[in-house]
Amino acid sequence: MAIHSTAVIHPSAKIAEGVDIAPYAIIEENVTIGKGTTIGAHAVIGKWTELGENNQIFQMTSIGAPPQDLKYKGEECWTRIGNGNIIREFATIHRGTVTGHAETVVGNNNMMMAYSHVAHDCRIGNGVVMANVATLAGHVTIQDNVILGGLVAIHQFVTIGAYSMLGGGTLVGLDIPPYMIATSGGKREAALRGLNLIGLKRRGFSELAINNLKKAYKTLFMAGMKQVDAIVKIRAEIPPCEEVDNLVNFIEKSERGICRG
């Protein structure tokens, strides 16, 4: 363990063996840092933060700061980050609020590039990539293995489905179903552009699963049918398929509504 003499660490912080803390980093009270994690110069880890193992926190990062929510009055709320994450320069992750989940949660093996922002009460899964200046408003859910391009902006309470990809500069106000590509294009807000076929193949999805998703996509978004009728048709005509079930269940449970083409 190497902790620079200029680092400021609250006595209540729990620092595991093998943690490196660079010059002028600040670790506030009630912080836990797991083994193998590195904290860069001038990074600030706010109170009520849990950092797991083998995370790379780069210089000037801010994790666990109070939320940008005028209703927040300093209540005990948490930021919980898993293992193996890479959080680059000037990225910001805010703690939760009592009017939300009282915690902001980031899973494992995610990469958050420079200037990306995760607001209060967000929930991020595993294997997510947020490119430079990608921004999440409060209460956003990002499922596993999502890629957010640079300058993506996501409205509060939106859910981004697993294995989807959002092109750079996309503005998102509605839920993005899993397995999709969405971009803003000539519109102001996001529109679906089809399945994330390259991403699915790279992730090892079977040809059968991809073909079933293609059929479901055409029925949902290209056949001119009402959503409820399209779902009935999919369940009647496509054999049982985990990926199609995930897609249909996501759409049925959406509270904000689904982004379309």
Q: What is the pLDDT of residues 208-261, one digit of tens each?
A: 999 999 999 999 999 999 999 999 999 999 999 999 999 999 999 999 999 998
Work out the pLDDT band at 133, boundaries 50, 70, 90: very high
Q: Of these residues, 84, 121, 127, 149, which one is catalytic? A: 121
Percent helix, strand, coil in the chain (nearest 5)? 15, 30, 55
> What confidence score (pLDDT) does residue 179 get?
98
Q: What is the pLDDT of residues 167-208, one digit of tens each?
A: 999 999 999 999 999 999 776 789 999 999 999 999 999 999
Q: Is 138 a catalytic residue?
A: yes
Q: What is the pLDDT of residues 15-38, one digit of tens each?
A: 999 999 999 999 999 999 999 999
Q: How does DSSP classify residue 258? A: B
Q: Of these residues, 120, 127, 167, 199, which one is catalytic? A: 120
Q: Is 120 a catalytic residue?
A: yes
Where do the domains of the chain lie? 2-142, 200-253
Q: Of these residues, 138, 161, 167, 199, which one is catalytic? A: 138
Mean local confidence (pLDDT), 136-165 = 98
Structure tokens at 159: 């859910």
Q: Provide the b/e sequence for 166-202 (b: ≥16 CB within 10 Å).
A: bbeebbbbbbbbbbbbbbbeeeeebebeebbeebbee
User: At 212, phi and psi to the nearest 5?
Assistant: -65, -40
> What confidence score (pLDDT) does residue 189 get?
85
In this structure, are residues 97 and 69 in contact, taking their beta carbons and an 8 Å threshold? Answer: yes
Q: Is 240 exposed, middle or buried (0-12, 13-18, 19+ CB in 10 A)?
A: exposed
Q: Which CATH class is domain 200-253?
A: mainly alpha
In this structure, are residues 116 and 133 in contact, taking their beta carbons and an 8 Å threshold? Answer: yes
Q: Which fold has domain 2-142?
A: UDP N-Acetylglucosamine Acyltransferase; domain 1 (2.160.10)
Q: Is 10 a catalytic residue?
A: no
